[in-house]
Chain A
Amino acid sequence: MGIDRRTFLKCLGTGVALAAPGCFSLPGKLEAAGVAANKEFMGVLVDTTRCVGCRSCELACAEAHNLPVPDVGDASAFEKVRDTSEKQWTLVNRYKTEKGEIFAKKQCMHCNQPGCVAACPVKAMEKREEGPVTWDTNCMGCRYCMVSCPFDIPKFEHHSAAPKLQKCNLCWERLQKGEKPACVEACPAEALTFGARRNLIEEANRRIYKNSGEYASHIYGEHEAGGTGYLYLSSVPFEQIGFRTDLGTTAYPEYTKGFLYSVPVILLLWPAFLSGVSAITKRKDKVRSEEGGKR
């Protein structure tokens, strides 16, 4: 059976006309797939075996983003494990492990498919083509991103009348100028390497193979929560240096996908079903009242 050009165009036209409103009502495709617009996500490899705990990254970050400058000479900061805050986007923690003291930097992981981006009802959280997850001022302050982040990273300025959502943005403003993130540039121990995510994974694997026994054979962030822009190497299992190892490999937006896909189905089927039920009960009612009339 052949199809002539006119029929084909007709079908195409109808298809497009039907699909256009459909695109709007259906949940959009998850935009933060591994690679956007043929660009590779950039990321940072953190080699915790090299980190000396000098906290230069903390200082550089504060200066780059006009945040309060931390007193990096104060060693007492290491006494307990600290969390990033709205005033401090990155910090170094010290962990006592089976292989002695290990320092680990903490900041936003810049997931490939971030939970916070999928959570945001106004796209204030965005996964940029270059790799950073950034925040914008059209935010409503609902804090759903905080609930949805597997790493508990976004921090909210609770004590401001015009609060912002604060977190590491991988120095997106510097990236656009072709510069490296401030923390990477400041690191004197070469513990931080900036590059395309794929190259970083290669480099990390190379280090694991070359120095067998020195590293735990796992790159944290390669698959965690669907893969992250920040990747970590460690000499000890990651739970010893404060990492959650129970996140699984599923990207977080996947958890809501099933629900989102059921939405257009219910939006179409439910009214049809309810109208049908209503038509039936209406008829029954009528029959009943007519019968009542006869008697």
Chain B
Amino acid sequence: MNRTTTAVQISSLKDFLVFMRSELKPKGKILTPFNVITGSVILLGAVLILYRFFMGLGSVVHSSSEYPWGIWIGFIVMVGVAFAGGAYVTAFIVYVLRGEKYHSIVRMAVLNGFLAYVFYAGAILLDLGRWWNIANPLIGNRFGVNSVLFLVAWHFLLYMLAQLVEISPAFAEWLGLKKARKFLASLTLGAVIAGVTLSTLHQSGLGALFLMAKWKIHPLWYTEFIPLLFFVSSIYAGLSVVIFIGTVSFRVFEKDRIDEEYRRSWDDIIIDLGNACAITMFVYFFLQILVLVHGKHWSLLNTGMGYWYLTELIGLLLIPGFLFSWGVKSGNPAPIRIAAVLTMIGVIINRVDYSIIAYKWYLPLSERYIPSWMEVVITLAIVFTMVWVFIWIVNRVPILKKPPQWAIEQEQEEESVERAVALGLQLGLTMADGGSSIDKEKK
């Protein structure tokens, strides 16, 4: 049980196969209630997915010509991508701003983001009517460069690769590949910078998809600033998810999967994350108010949809925002955890509003889109599969525990080399300017 990653030494294919066989075995009990319930949903989902591919989208999905996009796009993709935002925000804090304090959570956040993208890309494949053409925008079976979706597709793919690079050192550590780890780790900063850029465009791009659905989306939701709103909300959505997953992970995983130091620093980190959430949520709230004032839609607030809008804006944005700040002020992680869950619900509702609830809000209920039970089962199956893979990886790869000793040494070595180079550079510069800077320092 108490396996140490440092012990792994793979020198031949045979070693690798032996190692993989031992790793593929389940760790811990199989027949837990969680596994049984999620497992049966996944099985049922798999059957329904096959059914969908043979019988067509309409056999499983309730979409109609009025509602081209159901919950697979409106929930899985739209919400999933927003929830994956924690990856680029955390990577930005740790690798660009060098917030070393948060190093312990960056792998968890990036792994979650990466898996989210992989599985939600999978959901797109399900939703595409002509899925066998999915590579067309990438291979140039005509580049639709005027299309927002074209850009979203490219950024989706590129960001997925960037995330793979960001998380890859952890896998190299797991497999004991020292040289590969050194190389992959050297790519991290570049991947993070590319990733933050792509995420900015990708998150806002998902919002930009709705810009041409002008009269179809309720005026309280439709604004030319949808892309900006989507981007800002992805920051606090992603961080709330990191708070949620971190809180759950540090409780449910067995002791030897988690570094004790990491676990102890968690309550401290949660408070900083809560602070970042509160700030971005107030920025978002301010933006929404600006949009509302600008659009002069006051009268619409006193309608059914108006109440729904206020529920979202006040109940699931402003209130969790205040809860976050309360938790930060009092140094208490409890309200922050509650706020994170409320915020996640708020973001789910917000994204689903754009493609389903506020989309053609004027239709009578009988013509509205309501997902079929099969759509819901497949959606749950996708989410559960992602959770399974997440657990499988955390149980093996150093995500929540410290990297093996050799990897830490490698890192320090790298840093000292960098420092030596920088020092040499500085020395050269000092000599070049005739030592005047040294004089200044003396004064």
Q: Which residue of B lies closest to A28 (CB)?
A: B145
Residue A282 interfacial (CB < 8 Å): yes
8 Å CB contact of B149 from A144, A150, A278: A144
Residue A158 interfacial (CB < 8 Å): yes
How far does the Cβ of B360 sit from chain A's closest Cβ, in whole Å?
9
Most central of A157, A278, A289 by chain B CB within 10 Å: A278
Q: List 18 A-B contacts (CB under 8 A).
A: A118-B212, A119-B148, A121-B153, A122-B137, A138-B136, A141-B57, A143-B68, A146-B68, A156-B65, A159-B59, A161-B56, A255-B211, A255-B214, A267-B201, A277-B96, A278-B98, A281-B98, A289-B419
A residues in contact with B98, CB < 8 Å = 278, 281-282, 284-285
How far does the Cβ of A246 sit from chain B's closest Cβ, in whole Å?
6
Residues of B within 8 A of A (CB): 53-59, 61, 63-66, 68-69, 92, 95-98, 124, 127-131, 133-134, 136-137, 141-151, 153, 189, 193-194, 196-197, 200-201, 204-205, 208-216, 224, 227, 419, 422
How far does the Cβ of B81 sit from chain A's closest Cβ, in whole Å?
15
With contact pairs A121-B137, A141-B133 given, residues A252 and B212 touching in the complex (Cβ less than 8 Å)? yes
> Is the pair A278, B96 in contact by a Cβ cutoff of 8 Å?
yes
Residue A35 interfacial (CB < 8 Å): no
A144 to B127, CA, bound (A): 12
A160 to B130, CA, bound (A): 10
A188 to B127, CA, bound (A): 43
A residues in contact with B144, CB < 8 Å = 120-123
> Is the pair A255, B65 in contact by a Cβ cutoff of 8 Å?
no
8 Å CB contact of A148 from B130, B153, B212, B419: B212
A239 to B354, CA, bound (A): 26
> Is the pair B210, A147 in contact by a Cβ cutoff of 8 Å?
yes
B residues in contact with A49, CB < 8 Å = none
> Is the pair A277, B97 in contact by a Cβ cutoff of 8 Å?
yes
Interface of B is mostly: helix
A83 to B194, CA, bound (A): 46
A221 to B196, CA, bound (A): 43
A window 109-168: CB within 8 A of B: 115, 117-124, 137-144, 146-148, 150, 152, 155-163
With contact pairs A121-B137, A123-B142, A163-B56 given, residues A258 and B224 touching in the complex (Cβ less than 8 Å)? yes
8 Å CB contact of A256 from B65, B145, B148, B194: B148
Q: Which residue of B lies closest to A148 (CB)?
A: B212
Residue A81 interfacial (CB < 8 Å): no
Most central of B129, B145, B422 by chain A CB within 10 Å: B129
Given A115-B212, A161-B55, A277-B96, 14 new contacts (CB under 8 A):
A85-B65, A118-B146, A118-B147, A120-B144, A121-B137, A122-B150, A124-B142, A138-B133, A142-B149, A144-B209, A147-B69, A266-B197, A267-B201, A271-B194
Q: Which residue of A lies closest to B199 (CB)?
A: A270
With contact pairs A255-B211, A259-B205, A271-B194 given, residues A139 and B147 touching in the complex (Cβ less than 8 Å)? no
> Is the pair B136, A158 in contact by a Cβ cutoff of 8 Å?
no
A-B contact count (CB 8 A): 184
Residue A263 interfacial (CB < 8 Å): yes
> Is the pair B142, A138 in contact by a Cβ cutoff of 8 Å?
yes
8 Å CB contact of A147 from B134, B137, B212, B227: B212
B residues in contact with A140, CB < 8 Å = 128-131, 133-134, 136-137
B residues in contact with A115, CB < 8 Å = 212
> Is the pair B58, A27 in contact by a Cβ cutoff of 8 Å?
no
> Is the pair A155, B137 in contact by a Cβ cutoff of 8 Å?
no
How far does the Cβ of B100 sit from chain A's closest Cβ, in whole Å?
8
A246 to B216, CA, bound (A): 11
> Is the pair A155, B65 in contact by a Cβ cutoff of 8 Å?
yes
A window 243-261: CB within 8 A of B: 244, 246-248, 252-253, 255-256, 258-260
B residues in contact with A252, CB < 8 Å = 212, 214
A159 to B133, CA, bound (A): 18
> Is the pair B211, A27 in contact by a Cβ cutoff of 8 Å?
no
Residues of A within 8 A of B (CB): 24, 27-28, 30-31, 83, 85-86, 115, 117-124, 137-144, 146-148, 150, 152, 155-163, 244, 246-248, 252-253, 255-256, 258-260, 263, 266-267, 270-271, 274-275, 277-278, 281-282, 284-286, 289
With contact pairs A121-B153, A281-B97 given, residues A158 and B61 touching in the complex (Cβ less than 8 Å)? yes
8 Å CB contact of B56 from A139, A158, A247: A158
Q: Which residue of A lies closest to B359 (CB)?
A: A147
> Is the pair A156, B136 in contact by a Cβ cutoff of 8 Å?
no
B residues in contact with A139, CB < 8 Å = 129-130, 133
8 Å CB contact of B129 from A83, A143, A267: A143
> Is the pair A286, B128 in contact by a Cβ cutoff of 8 Å?
no
Most central of B98, B153, B212 by chain A CB within 10 Å: B212
A47 to B178, CA, bound (A): 77
A3 to B127, CA, bound (A): 59
How far does the Cβ of A280 sit from chain B's closest Cβ, in whole Å?
9
Q: Which residue of B lies closest to A141 (CB)?
A: B129
Q: Which residue of A lies closest to B154 (CB)?
A: A121
With contact pairs A163-B56, A271-B193 given, residues A122 and B68 touching in the complex (Cβ less than 8 Å)? no
A residues in contact with B65, CB < 8 Å = 83, 85-86, 146, 152, 155-156
Most central of B133, B145, B201 by chain A CB within 10 Å: B145
> Is the pair A255, B137 in contact by a Cβ cutoff of 8 Å?
no
A263 to B153, CA, bound (A): 14
Q: Which residue of B lies closest to A247 (CB)?
A: B215
8 Å CB contact of A281 from B96, B145, B197: B96
With contact pairs A159-B59, A270-B197, A285-B98 given, residues A144 and B130 touching in the complex (Cβ less than 8 Å)? no
B residues in contact with A282, CB < 8 Å = 98
The 6 closest A-B pairs by CB, nearest first: A141-B129, A158-B58, A141-B130, A148-B212, A143-B68, A146-B68
A143 to B66, CA, bound (A): 11
A83 to B64, CA, bound (A): 12
A residues in contact with B224, CB < 8 Å = 255, 258
How far does the Cβ of A260 sit from chain B's closest Cβ, in whole Å?
7
A residues in contact with B131, CB < 8 Å = 140-141
A100 to B128, CA, bound (A): 45
B residues in contact with A163, CB < 8 Å = 56-57, 129-130
> Is the pair A274, B134 in contact by a Cβ cutoff of 8 Å?
no
8 Å CB contact of A150 from B92, B133, B143, B215: B215
> Is the pair B148, A260 in contact by a Cβ cutoff of 8 Å?
yes
Q: Which residue of B lies closest to A277 (CB)?
A: B96
> Is the pair B212, A141 in contact by a Cβ cutoff of 8 Å?
no
8 Å CB contact of A119 from B59, B129, B212: B212
A residues in contact with B215, CB < 8 Å = 150, 244, 246-247
A115 to B144, CA, bound (A): 13
8 Å CB contact of B422 from A259, A266, A286: A286
With contact pairs A244-B215, A271-B194 given, residues A259 and B150 touching in the complex (Cβ less than 8 Å)? no
